[in-house]
Amino acid sequence: MNLLEVLRGRFYQALLGWAPDPLTASALVKPATDSKFGDYQANAAMSLGKSMGKPPRQVAEELLARLQWDDILEKPEIAGPGFINLKFRNDYLEGLLSQAANDDRIGIAKVANPRRIVIDFSGPNVAKPMHVGHLRSTILGESLARLHRFLGHLVITDNHLGDWGTQFGILLYGYRNKLDAENLKKNPVAELARLYVEVRKEFKTGSDEEGGDKSDPVQDACRLETVKLHQGDEENLALWNRFMPFCLEEIDAVYRRLDVHFDHILGESHYQPMLATVVEDLLSLGIARESQGAVGVFITEEGAPALIRKSDGAFTYTTTDLATIDYRIREFNPTEILYVVDSRQHLHFHNLFETAKRWGRTGTESGPRLVHVPFGSVLGADRKPIKTRDGKAVANLDQLLDEAVRLAGEIFDANRAEDAELFNRSLVAETVGIGAVKYADLSQNRTTDYVFSWEKMLAMDGNTAAYMQYAYARCQSILRKAGVSPEALDTKAPISLATPEERALAIQILRMEEILLAGASELRPNIITGYLWDLAKAYSGFFQNCPVIKAPPALLPSRLLLCHLVARSLKLGLDLLGIQVIERM
């Protein structure tokens, strides 16, 4: 049930045939800025007053006379120049809560018009360990996929791996010059990771890893190994095929730990056979042209072109991404494609999307909408982006997760109760530690940078995963103490909102559909974390002021149901963020 849409629907009907643009006016129904004035607020009277030539307060009075409200609202109040404060009737809220308690989706409807959405996220280079720079794309993309699927959209996740670039030239060079054959037999993943690091150390500071630097002999040698691979050199191809399973397993281990899943994992190598055709097609259509031996698409005549073939014949990321768009349209027939990639790639995606439009792949009635979902950087204590090689922070992603789990385990040891034998320490540490890393990232506005802080991340109070997990565990603890399992709970029992705290909690529970739709529309999981924080605070007020176990017998079933609905809402919200809950903490 979507309380906001219920109200907007009522206002739309009241405005229809009376006011200009009723859809825009009804959209001005918003959540109240202060709960003491009501649950929601209608703010259309001011703008309508201008267009209708009437004082806003008079418009508000006339609007209320047209509004059907008495079956769901207490009497609306007009405040100030024409704001209309709206408060739901308790019996209406109680009925909705009873419906939610008996619905496997907690009363949250699926969208009426589902879309086919491809989400491109994570995309690491597979020849080197994943690092903290991959964290945001990976968990943002997974959360957006979970959210859209839950709402009823058909979601196709595609991990566009970097499996054909310079990083493999580095491994090939390292294999020939620095290999420890015995280590390769014992632990191929660790040996390949070591080779990458050792060779990369010999690159000159400030050199261009992707393009190669002929004044840097090691980097240039790596570039030549890459060129040989792309030209079909049998030995390099054989080594590439030998390395790939080990590289993929290392990445898959991180994904398993993060509970991240993909429908398709198609690397750059998958599209390599298609690249020449892309260039030929763009040339023949006059979309691209040659310049100084290279081929590019001139987005503007003044600016630099988006290169699709270099002067040495090598293809570029843009060429691969164009081939990927063409493939996804043919294979998946999406209505939109989301690219969860950091904000520094803004110019690349601007050029890519404009080229795809000129190519006729988008911009038509049948073509998909292409969306760059940008995000900021993870910063160290010095407020600079954490780098893989700076040695000042845990940059390797697997090591970062290990550290989070270790610290979570220490917190558990320091705070464990007398019945600690009931707990699985390793499970608690892993769930709390990894949940903390995810939540700290997802609770930020994705377009901003944020400072990585273990202390804030693992705090047991405030807007953190640990606090949400604890709130969930507290709900479950109450049910256990009441001697009732969630499965045996009487969900048909009447719900009573006898106190302000119960009512405030009810409003938060029933706002979830509104919140999820907003998070999906704006592609911002932090809208969900903000909601979970509001829900947890409302539950804390309820917990402190409304006894459950010692409640009067007439109120006990209702309050147990409220606890159960809070637990289900917290669990669902955390699951959409890719975070697990714990039954005991």
pLDDT tens-digit readout, 162-179 = 998 888 999 999 999 999
How many Cβ atoms are within 10 Å of 408's Cβ, its own excluded?
26
The residue ranking higher by pLDDT, 367 or 405, is 405
pLDDT above 90: residue 338: yes
Q: Which residues does 3 contact at the CB level (< 8 Å), separation at least 6?
A: 39, 40, 88, 507, 510, 511, 514
From the CA atom positions of the chain, what is the Rg in Å? 28
Q: According to the CATH classification, is domain 3-88 in 3.40.50.1820?
A: no
Q: Break the chain into its structural domains and give their ranges.
A: 3-88, 433-576
pLDDT of amino acid 131: 83
**227 closest CA partner among 173, 171, 284, 169:** 169
Kindly tell me if the per-residue pLDDT of 327 is higher than 60. yes
Give 124-141 as a 3 state SS string. Answer: CECCCCCEHHHHHHHHHH
| Helix boundaries (H) for 268-420 | 268-271, 275-284, 317-332, 346-358, 397-415
What 3-state DSSP class applies to 468? helix
pLDDT band at 466 (very low <50, low <70, confident <90, very high): very high
DSSP lists the bridge partners of residue 30 as 41
119 SS3 class = strand
* pLDDT tens digits for range 108-164: 999 999 999 999 999 998 887 788 888 999 999 999 999 999 999 999 999 999 998
> Which residues fall within 8 angstroms of residue 458, CB to CB, at 6 or more apart?
404, 407, 408, 411, 432, 433, 436, 464, 466
The residue type found at 27 is A
Contact 340, 142 (CB under 8 A): no
Does CATH number 3.40.50.300 belong to domain 433-576? Answer: no
CA distances from 46 to 156, 325, 434 (A): 44, 46, 48
Residue 537's Cβ-count burial label (10 Å; 0-12, 13-18, 19+) is: middle
